């Protein structure tokens, strides 16, 4: 199993990176991305400190992907910040999409979907078909999330992704231990969004390297 969207005490999460990774290992995950909230104030710091726990993660059988979630960054700055993150060694760049739960700047979804240095558009709310087509063109995955509130539009995201050929990922957006998903819960998120069995299988057997290192 994989999770490409999690948070730790490096931003607003409750767990140290290693506690998160240990708990994920016990749940059966072999790939975990730590993607704490980032903007111009902490991008470099996050990507400097996270690699320090790779060895410990490996001992627990987890491949740690060091990443960031660009959060409330003005759309005009997203492309440059995503490129900077990749240049600093980020394995995965997530953009905090236009969820209905927060005042995310209009245009965030479109900019993220147009950027080849962005890997995942998190909780994209009522994403438009045109923006999803851009995501499909640029290899940006759309997220189905279990996060309360953000998950209100999962069904819409699933339908738009189906119509446009977008890659779907299923993530927890975990901030605390109770947010973590076991296999059964992860399947429930996907099926609850309306995915059929073959679509669930495709989402869960995703080639992470193919997605991130395209």
Report the CATH number that the domain containing residue 151 is assigned in CATH.
3.20.20.140
Global confidence as pTM: 0.98
Q: Which domain holds residue 183?
A: 2-212
What is the predicted pLDDT for the residue at 192?
A: 97
Q: Kind and range of the H or E element at 47?
A: helix 43-49
DSSP class of 34: E
Q: What is the pLDDT of residue 101?
A: 97
The reported pLDDT for the residue numbered 214 is 81
Q: pLDDT tens digits for 34-60?
A: 999 999 999 999 999 999 999 999 999
Q: pLDDT tens digits for 78-95?
A: 999 999 999 999 999 999
pLDDT at 213: 86
Cβ 55 vs Cβ 62: under 8 Å: no
Q: What is d(CA 46, CA 11) in angstroms, rounded to the nearest whole number?
A: 9
In Å, how far are 37, 93, 119, 124, 126 from 7, measured between CA atoms?
Answer: 7, 13, 17, 18, 24
| The total number of structural domains that make up the chain | 1
- 């996050």: which residue's tokens? 46
Residues in the chain predicted with pLDDT less than 70, given as ranges, are none
Q: How far is the first Cα of the chain from the last one, in angstroms, to the nearest whole number?
A: 20
Strands (E), the chain: 2-3, 31-38, 63-70, 92-96, 120-122, 141-145, 168-171
The token pair that represents 207 in the structure block: 């080639």
């Amino acid at each position: 199993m994989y999770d490409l969207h999690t948070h730790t005490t490096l931003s607003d999460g409750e767990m140290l990176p290693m506690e998160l990774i240990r708990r994920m290992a016990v749940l059966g995950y072999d790939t975990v991305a730590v993607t704490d909230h980032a903007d111009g104030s902490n991008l470099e710091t996050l990507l400097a400190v996270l690699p320090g726990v790779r060895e410990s993660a490996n001992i627990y059988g987890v491949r740690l992907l060091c990443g960031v979630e660009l959060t409330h960054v003005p759309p005009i700055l997203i492309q440059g910040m995503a490129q900077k993150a990749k240049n600093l060694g980020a394995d995965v760049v997530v953009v905090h999409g236009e969820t209905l739960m927060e005042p995310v700047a209009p245009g965030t979804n479109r900019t993220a979907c147009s950027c080849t240095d962005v890997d995942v558009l998190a909780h994209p709310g009522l994403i438009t078909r045109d923006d999803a087509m851009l995501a499909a063109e640029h290899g940006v995955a759309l997220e189905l999330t279990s996060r309360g509130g953000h998950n209100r539009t999962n069904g819409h995201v699933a339908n738009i992704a189906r119509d446009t050929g977008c890659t779907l990922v299923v993530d927890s957006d975990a901030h605390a231990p109770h947010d973590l998903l076991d296999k059964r819960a992860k399947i429930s998120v996907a099926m609850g969004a309306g995915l059929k069995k073959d679509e669930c299988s495709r989402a869960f057997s995703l080639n992470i390297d193919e997605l991130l290192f395209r």
